[in-house]
Structure 1
Amino acid sequence: MSAETSMGFVMTEQNSSNVKTVNQHAYYRTFDAKDRNSVTTICDKVPAGSLVLDLGAGSGIIGKYLSTEKKCTVDGIDINLEQVEHAACYRKIQSANLEAQLISELISDQYDIIICADLLEHLRNPQQLLVQLKDYLKQDGRIILSVPNVAHIGLVCDLIEGAFEYRSEGLLDNTHVRFFTRHSLKNLLSESGLGIKTIEEIELDPRETEFNSHPYGFSPELMHLLISRADALTYQFIIEASFDDEIAENLVEEKHTETLSPVSLSYSVQLFWRTENEEYDTQQSVTAVGRIGKEIQQFELKIPEMGHPCSALRLGVADRPGYTRIETIKLCNASGAVVWEWDGNADTLLSLGSRQEIEIADLRDSQSGVVVLVGTEDSYFELPVPTNLLEEISSGGSLQLTQSFPMSADYLALTPRLSELTRLQVEQIDELKKLVALRDSELVVRDATIKAHQSSPEEREQLIIDQQHQIEELKHLSELQAQQIQEREQLIDERDKWLIEKQDRAERQYEKMEELELLMKQHNIDITRRTSNVEFREQSIDQQLQIRDDSINSLTAEIGELEKQLEHHMSLQFWLQRPFVFLRDTLLNKLQ
C-alpha cells in the first residue's frame, strides 16, 4: 500500500467503463502541496531533478508530483499496475511482488532517492527488501519511508476497550501484516544496516481518524495519562535513512540502552462546548497537551461540527493546581477567520461569573495577559463569547490559546533563590579571572625581580614596594572571596533547610493521603454493606408487599362471593314474602 492508500487515496475501477476514479477518504481529500501529510512531506524531502525509485507506487500521485513539479526522473514498482492512475508520469513502471522477486531482477540503475511510502507494513519480511536496496542507492543517496504508528492513542483506546478491528484502510488496514512503533521501527532499520538521518511525525487527533467514535470516552485522568505518552498523537512516521556506516553503528549502540519513552512532564488543556439545553460532557470536548518547563506555548483546540447552534464554551487551562499566564485567546470559524478575540483584561474573562476553583488577575509592570490561579484539577471558566458569535462555530472551528505552563508556588519561591546562587557563581568566576590575571602579573614581576638582582638598590627597593602592594590586593581579594563563599554557604543551608521542610511536608501529605485512602476504603466497605442492607430490605419489603397484595386480592374475591350470596338471599326473600303479602291484602279486603 502506498502513502496515498493509507491516507485515503484508494483506486477503484468502474464496471461500466475503463475509467478509473479515486475514493477519497476524509483525511486528505486532495493532493495540496500546502497541506502537511505523509505524501507532501515525502515530496518536500526529494531534491528537484533527482533520479527516484518509487516502491509501492499506489495510484502514482507521488510520481506525478515529482515528475511534473520537481522535474525528477521517476521509476515505479507496484504489485497491481491497474491501480496506477498516473503511470504515464513514470519513466518506466513495473508490476512485481517485492516479497517473491529480488530487486536485481527488476532494476539495474542506482538512484538518488528510493521511496517506500507505507510499504513495509505490507511485507512479512521487510528487512529482506531493505538490505537489497544498498546496491541500488548512490553513495549519498537516501531512502525515504512512511510507516503507520500502531501506538496512536486511537488504537490504544480501542485496545483498552477490547477492540482490534481491521478496516479497509488506516492503521489496521486489512492488508497490514506487520505493525510498528518508533522503537520497533528503529530496531528494524538498525538491523538492516540503515542509519536514521531525520524522523518526522504526522500527528492526527483521534477525532480526525478512523477511531473517531469514542476517542474521549474515558476519565480525564486516564486520557491525560494516555495522551501525554510519547507519540500518542503520531499517526505516521516519515524517516530519511541511508547506508551510512557511522550513523548505522551509532544507532546499533543506542539500541541496547534505548527504552520505551516514559510519561513526559506534561499537562493538558481542555475545551468543552455545549448546545442549548445540554450539559457539558467529556464527549463534547477536545484536549491538547503542553510541556512543563516550556515558558510560552501555543495551542490549537479544534472544534468539530456540532449539528446545533453552540451556546457556551468552557476552558480548563491546566489539569493541575498552579499559576499560569494567559496571553491570547482567539476563536476561529471553520474557514480559519477570527470571530472573537479576547481583549487581554481579567475583568472580561470574569464577566460571566461562571467559573470553578479559579482566580484571574491582571499582570503588573505592563506585562501582557493575565495571571490565572488554578485551584484544583477540575478548574475552569466560561469564555465570554457573545451568543451570535458562538453560532458561527456551530459548523466547526478552533480555539487558539497562548499561555505558560502551570507553575507551583514552591517553584515560584525557589526561583529567586536559584537566581541568587547563579549570580554569586558568576561573581566568583569573575573574581577567579581577576586572580588569574594577578597571578600572571605576579609572574611578570618575579621575572623582573630576577633581572633586578643586578640593578641598583633603589630599583630593588621599588620592586619590593610594588610586590607588597600586590600582596595586599591579593589578601583583599581573598577576603572578598571568603565572604562570598560564606554567603553562598548560608544560601545553600537555607535552600537545604527549605528542601527538608518541603520533604517533611510531602511526607506528611503522603501520610495523610494514605490515611484518606484507608478512610475511603472503609467508606467504600460501609457503602457496600449499606447497599447490601438496603437491597435486602427492599427485597423484604417487596415480599411483604406481594403477600399483602395477595391477601387483598383474596379478600376482594371473598367479598365478591359474599355480595353474590347476599344478592341471592335477598332475591329469595322477596319471592318468599310475595304469597304472604297477597293473603294479607286479600284478608284486609274481605274485612273491609
Structure 2
Amino acid sequence: MESLEPINYHYEKLYGQGENAADIVLAMVPPDTRVLELGAGPGSITRRLRAERGSRVTAVELESSFLPYLAPHCERVIQANLNETAWVAEVGTERFDLLLAADVLEHLNRPQDLLRACESLLAPEGSVVVSLPHIGHAVIHACLMDEDFEYRDAGLLDSTHIRFFGMKNMQALVEGAGFKVVDAGFVSRAPEDTEYADRWRRAPEDLRTAVLRNPHAMVYQCVLRAVRVTTPGEALDLMSMAGHAPRVTPLMHVNRLFKRMLPVGLYRLCRRAYAAVMKT
C-alpha cells in the first residue's frame, strides 16, 4: 500500500485555494445521519463526514487499494462496481438518510440507472447529494476554439470522465431518476485559475466576451441536493440560478504567475508538492 493517496482523490481543503466542493457537500449533510457514500475512493471525504458531521457511513468502492483507507471511517465497506447494480442487494434491509455521490457519476456508463437503483435504499425522508463538474465552464469553449479537447489527470477533462454535464443535463439526470433538486451550490473558478488557463489567454477576445455572457460561465462544479419527486415542496430550476463571481485569494494570484512562468511539467510537480504539504 502506498503512503500517499492519489492526488486527484483529495478533498481536503488546501490553504489559499478558494472555494471547495467538499465544503458545500458537507454543509448539505445533516448531522448524525446514516450515509451511503458511492465511489468513496480512499476516504478523503468519508473521514470528514465522520469527524465533522458525525455520520455513520456505509461506503461502496471498487478499487482494492483504497479499502484500507476507507475502513477506519466506515461502519461497513462494500466492494462493488457502480456500473452494475447487483451490489444493491448486499445492503440488505438498512435504509439511509442520505445518498452521496461526490464526483462519481461522470465516471459511469449509465449514471441515471445507478440513481434509480439506489432510490430503494433511501429512508422515506431521505435525500441525495451529488457533485458534478460543469462542462459549460468558459475555459472549455477556449479549448474547443483551439481544437484541443485535452484530457488530463484531474479537473474538468479528467481522463476517466465518460459523461459530461451542463446545467440542463444535471437537472435531467436527477429528474429522470425520480428526484427533484431542492438545493444547489456552485464552486466558481475564473478561467485564469483553471487547468486550461493558457487556452483562455490565447482565445480571441470576441470569443471570451461572448462566452462570459453565460451566467454560469464561471461555474466549475455543482453540488445538488435532491429528494424524491413525491416529496412536498417546489423543485429548484438550476437554469434560474446565476453563478457567483469567483473568490480569488492572494495565493491564487501567485498560482497564476507560476502558470505563466513555469514549464507545464514543472508547474504540475509544484502543484502536487503544494497539495501534499499545505492541507489545513
TM tier relative to shorter chain: 0.7 to 0.9
Q: Over residues 27-82 of structure 1, what are the superposed CA-to-partner deviations in whole Å (9 max), with x where a residue is unaligned?
A: 97843699631112111211221111110001201111111232221110011131
Give the structure 2 partner of residue 22 of structure 1. Answer: 5
Q: Distance in 2 between matches of 1:289 and 1:69?
A: 28
Equivalenced residues, count = 251
Q: How big is the shift at 1:247?
A: 6.3
Q: Distance in 1 between matches of 2:155 and 2:100?
A: 20
Q: How big is the shift at 1:214?
A: 2.5
CA contact (8 A) 2:134 2:166 kept: yes
Q: Distance in 2 between matches of 1:175 and 1:299?
A: 28
Q: Does 1:303 align with 2:257?
A: no
1:439-478 aligned at under 5 Å gives the runs: none
CA contact (8 A) 1:190 1:248 kept: no
Give the structure 2 partner of residue 63 of structure 1. Answer: 46
Q: Does 1:163 align with 2:145?
A: no
Give the structure 2 partner of residue 74 of structure 1. Answer: 57
Give the structure 2 partner of residue 104 of structure 1. Answer: 88
Q: How big is the shift at 1:177?
A: 1.3
Q: Distance in 2 between matches of 1:69 and 1:147?
A: 22
Give the structure 2 partner of residue 566 of structure 1. Answer: none
Counterpart selection for 1:138 from 118, 123, 131: 123
Q: Does 1:189 align with 2:139?
A: no
Q: Secondary structure at the match of 1:168?
A: coil
Counterpart selection for 1:91 from 66, 75, 87: 75
Q: Percent identity?
A: 25
- Indicate how the Cα distance of structure 1 residues 99 and 247 shifts in structure 2: closer, same or farther if over 3 A, else same: farther
Q: Secondary structure at the match of 1:232?
A: coil
Q: Secondary structure at the match of 1:221?
A: helix
Q: Distance in 1 between matches of 2:179 and 2:6?
A: 35
Give the structure 1 partner of residue 229 of structure 2. Answer: 244
Q: Over residues 226-256 of structure 1, what are the superposed CA-to-partner deviations in whole Å (9 max), with x where a residue is unaligned?
A: 12212111111100001131569967xx8xx
Q: Over residues 103-162 of structure 1, what are the superposed CA-to-partner deviations in whole Å (9 max), with x where a residue is unaligned?
A: 432212111111011111111111111112221111111100001111111111101111
- Indicate how the Cα distance of structure 1 residues 100 and 134 shifts in structure 2: closer, same or farther if over 3 A, else same: closer
- Indicate how the Cα distance of structure 1 residues 155 and 132 shifts in structure 2: closer, same or farther if over 3 A, else same: same
Paired AA for residue 164 in structure 1: F
Q: Over residues 465-513 of structure 1, what are the superposed CA-to-partner deviations in whole Å (9 max), with x where a residue is unaligned?
A: xxxxxxxxxxxxxxxxxxxxxxxxxxxxxxxxxxxxxxxxxxxxxxxxx
CA contact (8 A) 1:77 1:93 kept: yes
Give the structure 2 partner of residue 31 of structure 1. Answer: 13
CA contact (8 A) 1:143 1:242 kept: yes
Give the structure 2 partner of residue 49 of structure 1. Answer: 32
Q: Over residues 531-577 of structure 1, what are the superposed CA-to-partner deviations in whole Å (9 max), with x where a residue is unaligned?
A: xxxxxxxxxxxxxxxxxxxxxxxxxxxxxxxxxxxxxxxxxxxxxxx
User: 5+ unaligned residues in a row in structure 1: which ranges?
Assistant: 1-17, 265-287, 291-297, 308-592
Name the one with the larger helix percent.
1
Counterpart selection for 2:134 from 149, 154, 174: 149
1:284-299 aligned at under 5 Å gives the runs: none
Paired AA for residue 238 in structure 1: V
- Indicate how the Cα distance of structure 1 residues 204 and 102 shifts in structure 2: closer, same or farther if over 3 A, else same: same
Give the structure 2 partner of residue 126 of structure 1. Answer: 111
Q: Distance in 2 between matches of 1:29 and 1:113?
A: 19
Paired AA for residue 91 in structure 1: E
Q: Secondary structure at the match of 1:127?
A: helix
User: 5+ unaligned residues in a row in structure 2: which ranges?
Assistant: 259-280
Q: Secondary structure at the match of 1:74?
A: strand
Q: Secondary structure at the match of 2:198?
A: coil
Q: How big is the shift at 1:100?
A: 2.1
Give the structure 1 partner of residue 272 of structure 2. Answer: none
- Indicate how the Cα distance of structure 1 residues 238 and 230 shifts in structure 2: closer, same or farther if over 3 A, else same: same
TM-score by length of 2: 0.78
Counterpart selection for 1:224 from 209, 221, 228: 209
- Indicate how the Cα distance of structure 1 residues 289 and 38 shifts in structure 2: closer, same or farther if over 3 A, else same: closer
CA contact (8 A) 1:194 1:248 kept: no
Q: How big is the shift at 1:91?
A: 0.7
- Indicate how the Cα distance of structure 1 residues 220 and 247 shifts in structure 2: closer, same or farther if over 3 A, else same: farther
- Indicate how the Cα distance of structure 1 residues 218 and 86 shifts in structure 2: closer, same or farther if over 3 A, else same: same
Q: Secondary structure at the match of 1:215?
A: helix
CA contact (8 A) 1:32 1:40 kept: no
Bigger Rg over Cα: 1
CA contact (8 A) 2:10 2:44 kept: no
Give the structure 2 partner of residue 211 of structure 1. Answer: 196
Q: Secondary structure at the match of 1:115?
A: strand
Q: Secondary structure at the match of 2:174?
A: helix
Q: Secondary structure at the match of 1:216?
A: helix
1:541-556 aligned at under 5 Å gives the runs: none
Give the structure 1 partner of residue 262 of structure 2. Answer: none
Q: Distance in 2 between matches of 1:33 and 1:54?
A: 26
CA contact (8 A) 2:134 2:221 kept: yes
Q: How big is the shift at 1:22?
A: 2.9
